[in-house]
Amino acid sequence: MPIDHLSLPVASVSRARDFYLKALAPIGYKLFREIRPDGSTPDSEPYVVGLGTGLKPDFWLQPGKPNPGAHVAFAVNSTAEVDAFHTAALEAGAKDNGPPGLRPHYHKGYYGAFIIDGDGYNIECVHHDFSANQ
């Protein structure tokens, strides 16, 4: 079975939410859920945010001490989506950690792009063309 969801600790949930809504929009991610502490107001800092593409969130952001160097990869259906993710992430304030392109040292059809987000996470978007391995 695939991984159901992942949660990352971030220094500011609202800042990370805003970044990921922009960076992941080209690959279909949207806001599913914001959970705030009891008694808080609608404009207070969310406690937990869930993003996803399907019927439920699979990428969660929560307050905590970031773990720079952690690596998360989002699989997509085309190289164009990888390119669009990379552009959107840089426009949203990420640092480039590897431009879109083939990474044949992983496998012949591995096309990925890497960025570093505001908390130091290494975020990747990847398309696997397994027909290239034939």
Q: What are the tens digits of pLDDT across the range 7-50?
A: 999 999 999 999 999 999 999 999 999 988 777 777 777 789 99
* Cβ-contact 10, 62 below 8 angstroms: yes
Q: Which CATH number describes the domain made up of 6-133?
A: 3.10.180.10
Helices 13-23, 79-91: inter-axial angle, 10-degree rounding:
140
- Please state, as a whole number, how many other Cβ atoms lie within 10 Å of the Cβ of residue 88: 20
- Number of Cβ within a 10 Å radius of residue 118: 18
Predicted pLDDT of residue 44: 75
Q: What is the pLDDT of residues 45-69, one digit of tens each?
A: 778 999 999 899 999 999 999 999 8
Strand partners, 116: 95, 122
Domain residue spans in the chain? 6-133
DSSP-derived secondary structure letter, 35: E
